[in-house]
Structure 1
Amino acid sequence: MVKKRWTWPQQLFGALVMVLLLFALDIFLRPLGLTTRSIVRAGYAILVAGIIYHALNTLKVRRQKFKQTSFIVTMMIIVSVTLILLFFIMGIPYQISQVFGSPTIISDTLMALSAAIFEEFICRGLLFSVFEELCKNAKLQMTLSAIFSAVAFGLLHFVNLIGGQGIEATLQQATYAFCLGVLFAAVRVATNTLTWVVLIHFLIDWQSGISVSPASSSSPWVGIVVIFGTVLAVATLYLIAMDLNLNRHPLSKRRWQ
């Protein structure tokens, strides 16, 4: 791990404060126009990203490269293929094409970007770091850190109930957000940065009308369980492989400190 400027209690408290401030900001911005709201929200997300970068001292999970095994390389390829297939299953290319014909393209883009930056720096940044420290003596340190931070990511989506989103739709959103959270953590570990995770998150959220009505409708549970259950299994297997590799090569692990 990389030495952090903030201790894990400071990181946890900071994450809580920044999330609460976002909720307060959203309430304050509600009477304003779409473009103004999206610009202010994007500015806040960038500010939060800067604070978190300072707190963590880096965007990296590790300073040094570690020994790759054929199984880890294979799992990285499987994770990549899973992510590409997920993009097409979710209709992301079509969704993005619709944005360019939207009258709210500027506010939609800024809103999606602010959500991606804020949520990734909070969940895969601060909270992942917090759980890494809390799980530092566990054999599956990164796997547990990914799962716990993904749980927090899923729970964050229950705030959409306040905006009038239905209970079933919110439960489904929290469920696939948890699965995606583990996948995003796997991508962060594999790429050793938050940059790619923010980009992927942005592309998933970038859709026409998201700044007008971010609420989701419910879908059949079978499809959600099958698709995102597979995503969760693939990402978890990759993270477990990484942890087992670190356990077998303690010298590599010490070079991270």
Structure 2
Amino acid sequence: MIVCFLALGAKVFYKTDRVFIKLPKESKVKILTIIFCTMLMTLYFLINLITSWGQVFNLMPEMMWSSICVALAAGIGEEFLCRVTLFNLFTKIFENKQYVLLWSSIFSSVLFGLFHLINLGHGAALDATFQQVYYATAIGLAFSYLHIFTNRIWSCILMHFLLDLQPDIANMNAEASPWSPILIIFGIVIIVSIICIYAFNKRVNKVEN
């Protein structure tokens, strides 16, 4: 409830969660968006999210609702903090830059990743935490493009909620996975997301000029 009130406050403060008053026509960026969406769906399947959702609903009622509430709080709170508040802050900082959307996305996503270092204070393993920082940065870039392309934050909240809807979401004792697949999979996410944001930003610059 606290997270929801904070998110509502951010919504009222900013008046809107939109990036543009009027969303520019996507033109050739649509092709990149199809690739991006395919990548995102593949990512969801690769990390066995559907299996995790089934496990959540097979938990005891108290643990099931706990997982749902934590995932929902993370989806709402973190998206308003990083994709709205920090993103808007960096658009002001980089407003004179040619690729303001790209730089704002990168910096807000890196901070989103670094926020996960707080898990070290809750007893999380060092390797597992560094992996969280890396893939959270990658996911942050993907969600930044989703926010920019849709011009709204709600799809990011939904995707974030579904991503975090896991039976051990409230558990800080995550174990580290092998680095190789994480580096490859989320490295691709970073590259594709940056290309998509760059292309969209370039399109916006042409429209505005």
The alignment's TM-score, normalised by the length of structure 1, stands at 0.79
Offset, 1:54: 1.4
1:193 to 152, 168, 176: 152
Give the Cα–Cα distance (whole angstroms) in 1 for the partners of residues 194 and 168 of structure 2.
33
Structure 2 counterpart of 1:73, which letter?
K
Within a 5 Å distance, the mapping from 1:223-242 to structure 2 comes to 223-242=181-200
Q: Unaligned 5+ residue runs, structure 2?
A: none
Partner of 1:203: 162
The aligned runs of 1:135-146 (5 Å cut-off) are 135-146=94-105
Q: 1:207-251 CA deviation, whole Å, 9 max, x = no partner?
A: 11323x133211111111100000011110010001111221225
> Aligned with 1:66: secondary structure?
coil
Q: What CA distance in whole angstroms lies between the structure 2 residues aligned with 1:246 and 1:209? A: 41
CA distance in 2, matches of 1:115, 1:218: 21
Instruction: Find the counterpart in structure 1 of residue 3 from structure 2.
Output: 45
1:60 aligns with 2:25: no
Paired positions, count: 207
Correspondent of 1:111 among 55, 70, 76: 70
> Per the alignment, in what secondary structure is the counterpart of residue 219 of structure 1?
coil
* Preserved CA contact (<8 Å) 1:161 1:170: yes
TM-score, normalized by length of structure 2?
0.96
Q: Any residues of structure 2 matched to 1:75-94 within 5 Å, and which?
A: 75-94=32-51
The structure 2 residue matched to 1:215, chosen from 173, 176, 184, is 173
1:249 is paired with a residue whose SS is: helix
2:89 aligned to which of 108, 124, 130: 130
Which of the numbers 42, 58, 66 marks the counterpart of 1:101?
A: 58
Q: Kindly provide the amino acid, as one letter, of the partner of residue 190 in structure 2.
A: L
User: Over alpha carbons, which structure has the higher Rg?
Assistant: 1
Residue segments in structure 1 that go unaligned for 5+ positions in a row:
1-42, 252-257
Two-structure CA RMSD over aligned residues (Å): 1.0
CA distance in 2, matches of 1:116, 1:186: 16
- Residue in structure 2 matching 1:171, options 109, 130, 146: 130
Whole-angstrom CA distance in 2 between matches of 1:209 and 1:229 = 25
Paired position in structure 1 for 2:30: 73
Residue identity in the other structure for 1:217 = E
